[in-house]
Structure 1
Amino acid sequence: MAVTPASDAFIAPEMNSFGQSFRDYNAESERQKSVEEFYRLNHINQTYNFVKKMREEYSKLNRVEMSIWECCELLNEVVDDSDPDLDEPQIEHLLQTAEAVRKDYPNEDWLHLTALIHDLGKVLLLPKFGGLPQWAVVGDTHPLGCAFDEAIVHHKYFKENPDHNNPSYNSKYGIYSHGCGLENVMMSWGHDDYMYLVAKENGTTLPQAGLFIIRYHSFYPLHKSGAYEHLMNKEDEENLKWLQIFNKYDLYSKSKVRIDVEKVKPYYLSLIDKYFPEKLRW
């Protein structure tokens, strides 16, 4: 599936929408303080048992029935407290990402749609989806059931996580084996795993690479630092190539360039119709 981007390719900016470096978790600002507090709560509360419980609860898909576009519009009510680069409503980010991908990969329509829907799981923050706290919905993700790698942002807060001192969970492999495949790894609960679950269980025809992007786009310790590569299998390695392509757009399209929603809406509605049923169970 190797492709080359268009000649007038999207150029990643050096600064985020606040005029600072992207993913700088140490900059002195009020925004950074709230981001650090978010990760403190995330790292203390995301345990293996908590994630297992969340997966069981949300796999019922019995909360809401609605279309993909209806969910996109709902996301206007969401601001992500974990993100040091963005404080605008999420639908702006979705369309910025999708349009940047579309410009460079005009023939990969599945990738355009993946970009549009990758963050839809953030509706978990809204009351009708359970009103989960931010630490259980957004932020970088990481495996549970094995040691917390130091590549994870604000790693120091894991000392207060019960799994940190559990001998079954605190070794390099923990409950896993070499090359077991990421699909067999319990990831911290959040919008990635939820949207993957919704897409898969509702019978999407997106390719495996699209589902992989949705499920692991917040797994920065892997795709930025190479942590946990020992758990990957061959299929993961192939899909990771597409995730790394996507990641540039997910991260660096967070800019002040506004998107005319009504102008691009018909195109994305056609993609939704191609790859998804009209109504989905959430």
Structure 2
Amino acid sequence: MPASIIDIPQAPKNIEVTSDNIDAVNVIKGKATKDLYDASEFDQAKDKTGFRQFNDACDRVKNFYAQQHTLKTVAYNLKAQNDFHTKTRARMTVWEAMEKLDTFIDECDPDTQESQMTHLLQSAEAIRQDGKLRWMQLVGLIHDLGKLLFFFGAQ
């Protein structure tokens, strides 16, 4: 059976400690060339002042974020949790999930016109080129997979 995005085992409670220990071993082995928190060199010359300018965004983006902030209530969160646990979900590999996500138009992201697949691959590649740890590259690759919930009735 292929790996499933819903069957990922729970992370250990001390994942930060485990990650720090792995980082320490990698430093000893000479594998880690940069600190996790070093400034990115990948897009150092890029002008970032235009990113996340929601005041200049179109009404669709402004309305989306206004709605999301309005829905941040305990009652809404409890309903969302209940819906998540009672609805049937799909089984797919991570790659299949990325392909499915590539059919999604993200109306809330004013910063990119790229497809979701291109965005995920670019994120992971930028992190790789910046010399960050492999787990961080993976996070860059999968950071938007939560958007798949849209296909299953999430709002």
TM-score, normalising length: structure 1: 0.39
Is 1:10 aligned to residue 10 of structure 2?
Answer: no
> Which position in structure 2 is the counterpart of 1:21?
50
Preserved CA contact (<8 Å) 1:101 1:112: yes
Match of 1:98 among 107, 124, 127: 124
Deviation at 1:88, TM superposition (A): 2.5
Cα drift, residue 34 of structure 1: 1.6
Closer, same or farther in 2 for the Cα pair 1:119/1:102, shift >3 Å? same
**Residue deviations 1:186-234 (CA, integer Å, cap 9, x gap):** xxxxxxxxxxxxxxxxxxxxxxxxxxxxxxxxxxxxxxxxxxxxxxxxx
CA distance in structure 2 between the aligned counterparts of 1:115 and 1:122, rounded to whole angstroms = 14
Alpha carbon RMSD of aligned pairs, Å?
2.5
> 1:61/1:118 Cα in 2 relative to 1: closer, same or farther (>3 Å)?
farther
Residue aligning to 1:223: none
1:116 aligned residue: 141
> What's 2:88 paired with?
62
1:48 aligns with 2:74: yes
**Equivalent residue number for residue 125 of structure 1:** 150
Out of 105, 110, 121, the residue aligned to residue 79 of structure 1 is 105
How much has 1:61 moved relative to structure 2? 7.1
1:47 Cα offset (Å): 1.8
SS of aligned partner of 1:93? helix
Q: CA offsets, 1:1-33, max 9 Å, x none?
A: 465169x93124115xxxx70011122xxx432
Q: Distance in 2 between matches of 1:46 and 1:87?
A: 27
Gaps in structure 1 of 5+ consecutive residues: 134-282
Residues 80 and 87 of structure 1 are in contact (CA less than 8 Å); yes or no, is this contact kept in structure 2?
no
Alpha-carbon distance in structure 2 between the residues aligned to 1:61 and 1:40: 27
TM-aligned CA distance change 1:117 to 1:61, over 3 Å: farther
| Distance in 2 between residues matched to 1:36 and 1:91, nearest whole Å | 24
Letter in 2 for 1:35: V
- Letter of the 1:40 counterpart: A
**Counterparts in 2 of 1:95 and 1:61: CA distance versus 1, 3 Å:** farther
| Corresponding residue SS for 2:55 | coil
Larger RCO of the pair (alpha carbons < 8 Å, separation 6+): 2
The Cα of 1:102 is off from its aligned counterpart by: 0.8
Q: Hey, what's the Cα distance between the residues in 2 that align with 1:124 and 1:118?
A: 13
Residues 79 and 87, structure 1, Cα contact 8 Å, conserved in 2: no
| Structure 2 residue ranges without an equivalent (≥5) | 1-19, 24-31
Deviation at 1:60, TM superposition (A): 5.2
Q: Which runs of 4+ in 1 moved over 4 A?
A: none
1:153-232 equivalences in 2 (<5 Å): none
